[in-house]
Structure 1
Amino acid sequence: MVSGVVVLAGCGGTGPDNGNSATGTVTIKDCQGRDVTVPASPRRVVTLDGYAAQAMARLGLADRIVGTGYPAPFGSDQQPFRGELEKLPVLGRNVAPTEVVAAANPDLVLTGFSSFGQAPGSPSDADLETMRAKGLAACLGDEKKGAPASLASTYDFLTRLGQVFQVEARAGQVVGELRAREQAVAAKRRSDRPRVLILQDNPVAGQPLKTSGTVTIAHALIEAAGGQNAFTDVTSMHADVSPEEVLKRDPQVIWVISDYPFAKVKGEELLRQVKANPLLANTSAVRQGRVVGTSQFLVSFPTPLNLDGLEQLAAGLWTGRP
């Protein structure tokens, strides 16, 4: 990281509100536990992706957004602020280019990713310093060490936004509602933990299958729902696994996460094809009819919609089981 660049993230714990009304700043901690200072209640915010914009909207802060990148997550049927978010100026359908972000003259730049500069052409830490904008990023645990992700990333991101924008009460209410939904799912878990295969595309004979590892929100949701990831030994965000290994591990539930840009088909059509795929016919999941689908816009990065994804998965795990 470039010395002197402030990159905030939702991994530093909740902590007390350290707002300083006299100086118009708020001091919070970044992912490394360091104190960093940002403008209190910024007026001009750029969200580099729809995940960060969703969090802003849930806190009643969508009117602070002067532009967004990657608006695809706004199309989710579970998005309660869809109409409001779809009116935002779009700085890039996929990537919000650095020069476009700078032209928006933001006070604060937000991303639902775990750091800046992950998408080629988007602002890096050094770019933020040059444009004199602060940055706030969500964080998926300790990715470098392969530590598993958890829903704490989602709650902490909302809490940090609440502190920065001085809407702590609203953030606390939202986080409380989300935690209550998580607890309601936990109350329905059974003692057994079904093996869950995360599948991102329809398998093709002779080619590897695409799945997700333990540093993803999807993995965190499997744990929260009471299942176990069939590939807990995969610590990367995405991985290719062989059909033979899938059959060996025999998933009891297949969770089809659709809408990835690399997938050949999307949505309900992908779910239908997976259910009919002969490569998976001998898995317990297909034999027992336990194939559930969810859009990646609910479960890829920290967002309040993670709880919708959790509830969809939990229904596939437990509904109708004796």
Structure 2
Amino acid sequence: MRSRVLCGIAAAAALLTATACSTTGGGSGSEAATGATGTASAGAFPVEVADCAGKKTTFAGPARRIVTSNGSALEMLLQLGAGDRVIGTGFPPGKGTLPAAVADQGAKVPVLGEMGIAKEKLLGSGADTYVDTFGSMDMMGGAGGGAPTEAEFAAAGIRHVYLLSTACTATAKGPRTDLAEVEQDIRRLGAVTGTGAKAEELTTAMESRVKAVTDALKDLPAERRPGYFFFDFDAGTKQPVALCGRQVANAVITLAGARNVFADCDSDFRPVSWEDVVAKNPDWIQLGVRDRGSEAENTKAYAEAEAFLREFPATRALPAVQQGHFLRIGSEVTTIAGTRNADTVQRIAATVHPDLVRNGS
């Protein structure tokens, strides 16, 4: 199944992400937050953006012909109103994955690779900008001879930029506990596409939704933060894949007033054993499945994930399983950087702290 393959790739990506990221996030609209110089919110150029190692790329004018490495960057660009400039993508979002408001436009973006984009196809795409979610990963498909070098990008006239929230995890200092880097990525893309005003609108809305939750939970003592396990059902059930502290979802879980039981594993994702999961004894389990494209298919997938946990000898005796402490929230809105991370914070908080947070409030 394609969704399982993609999820397995996402887990593998954790081991192959790019090197050092010197950005830290920061205040709204600041250079520290955007990783860009110039008055980006006003659409002024030139604009400079830094990669994970701090190397800067200059945009004398807005990006016009963009290729994205996967659906995460594509979704951000669509929401920024720059979707008409995306001429191709790898790892295309599955049916039903994109928000309804941009789904039709997203479906029209040419697919340059069902997984990674072959090197020669990327270099010959006519793009002036390549937005890379994971950084220097050798996942360009077998035909293209690996990922292009920076010199090859330059020779093809392609500016190579990154989503720092996912490309810089290899040297992140400790677990991620906020969405500052996700907001930073949205502002960076706004800067290079001249849609800075829309980027501020999107990030301000995210901040408002998250603040409503964190304000409601501000007096929550540590002992009331329930243990939380993200069950990556699409990664397979033979060996569970732990969602670790460096992954964006760790911030989502933390902001929602829960405690990721695998926050201390120093990675994005890491294979663990079912014995490890049982030892953590989570209070709540998120049934992390990828969108199947319809409500009926999603309901079926959640039911399959729950049934596995209820029937599997290692997990069926867990109190969370016996009490039915399951959350049916999709993988994409939890583990992939984007504006919908803020919605997931609210949904998780409303489930595990219904006395303090209401969903949709």
Verify same fold: TM over 0.5: yes
2:96 aligned partner: 75
| Superposed CA offset, 1:9-67 (max 9, x none) | 8946441751699x963223333444431242111111111110100011111011111
1:287 Cα offset (Å): 2.9
Equivalenced residue count is 310
8 A Cα contact 1:193 1:227, kept in partner: yes
The answer to which structure has the higher strand fraction is 1
Cα root mean square deviation, aligned: 3.3
1:251 Cα offset (Å): 0.5
1:292 Cα offset (Å): 0.9
Query: Which region of structure 1 is more displaced relative to structure 2, 122-131 or 301-310?
Result: 122-131
1:270 Cα offset (Å): 3.7
The counterpart of 1:179, out of the listed 207, 231, 248, is 207
1:1-322 equivalences under 5 Å are 11=23, 13=25, 14-15=30-31, 17-18=37-38, 25-73=46-94, 75-76=96-97, 78-113=99-134, 115-121=135-141, 123-126=147-150, 127-140=152-165, 143-147=169-173, 148-149=175-176, 150-189=178-217, 190-191=220-221, 192-201=224-233, 207-259=238-290, 267-278=301-312, 279-319=314-354
Question: What is the identity, as a one-letter code, of the residue corresponding to 2:336?
Answer: F
| Superposed CA offset, 1:272-305 (max 9, x none) | 3245234323223223321113222222232222
1:318 Cα offset (Å): 2.0
- Give me the whole-angstrom Cα distance separating, in 2, the residues matched to 1:154 and 1:248: 32
8 A Cα contact 2:285 2:326, kept in partner: yes
8 A Cα contact 2:244 2:266, kept in partner: yes
Question: What is the identity, as a one-letter code, of the residue corresponding to 2:315?
Answer: L
1:238 Cα offset (Å): 1.8
8 A Cα contact 1:11 1:30, kept in partner: no
**What TM-score do you get using the length of structure 1 for normalisation?**
0.83
- Give me the whole-angstrom Cα distance separating, in 1, the residues matched to 2:335 and 2:245: 12
1:187 Cα offset (Å): 3.1
8 A Cα contact 1:197 1:254, kept in partner: yes
| Superposed CA offset, 1:211-264 (max 9, x none) | 111111111111111111112221122222232332222100112222399xxx
8 A Cα contact 1:29 1:36, kept in partner: yes
Query: Which region of structure 1 is more displaced relative to structure 2, 179-188 or 312-321?
Result: 312-321
- Give me the whole-angstrom Cα distance separating, in 2, the residues matched to 1:319 and 1:131: 53
The answer to which structure has the higher helix fraction is 2
Fraction of identical pairs, as percent? 22
Question: Could you say if the C-alpha distance between residues 224 and 321 of structure 1 is closer, same or farther in structure 2, counting changes exceeding 3 Å?
Answer: closer
Question: Could you say if the C-alpha distance between residues 64 and 203 of structure 1 is closer, same or farther in structure 2, counting changes exceeding 3 Å?
Answer: closer
Question: Could you say if the C-alpha distance between residues 80 and 310 of structure 1 is closer, same or farther in structure 2, counting changes exceeding 3 Å?
Answer: farther
- Give me the whole-angstrom Cα distance separating, in 2, the residues matched to 1:112 and 1:314: 27
Question: What is the identity, as a one-letter code, of the residue corresponding to 1:302?
Answer: A
8 A Cα contact 1:254 1:285, kept in partner: yes
Question: Could you say if the C-alpha distance between residues 168 and 260 of structure 1 is closer, same or farther in structure 2, counting changes exceeding 3 Å?
Answer: closer
- Give me the whole-angstrom Cα distance separating, in 1, the residues matched to 2:100 and 2:343: 10
2:16 aligned partner: none
Question: Could you say if the C-alpha distance between residues 247 and 12 of structure 1 is closer, same or farther in structure 2, counting changes exceeding 3 Å?
Answer: closer
- Give me the whole-angstrom Cα distance separating, in 1, the residues matched to 2:62 and 2:225: 44
**What TM-score do you get using the length of structure 2 for normalisation?**
0.75
8 A Cα contact 1:91 1:100, kept in partner: yes
Question: Could you say if the C-alpha distance between residues 135 and 40 of structure 1 is closer, same or farther in structure 2, counting changes exceeding 3 Å?
Answer: same
- Give me the whole-angstrom Cα distance separating, in 2, the residues matched to 1:179 and 1:249: 31
- Give the match's secondary structure for 1:81: helix
Question: Could you say if the C-alpha distance between residues 269 and 102 of structure 1 is closer, same or farther in structure 2, counting changes exceeding 3 Å?
Answer: farther
Gaps of 5+ in 2: 1-18, 293-298
- Give me the whole-angstrom Cα distance separating, in 2, the residues matched to 1:35 and 1:101: 21
- Give me the whole-angstrom Cα distance separating, in 1, the residues matched to 2:210 and 2:112: 34
1:4 aligned partner: none
Question: Could you say if the C-alpha distance between residues 321 and 188 of structure 1 is closer, same or farther in structure 2, counting changes exceeding 3 Å?
Answer: closer
8 A Cα contact 1:112 1:302, kept in partner: no
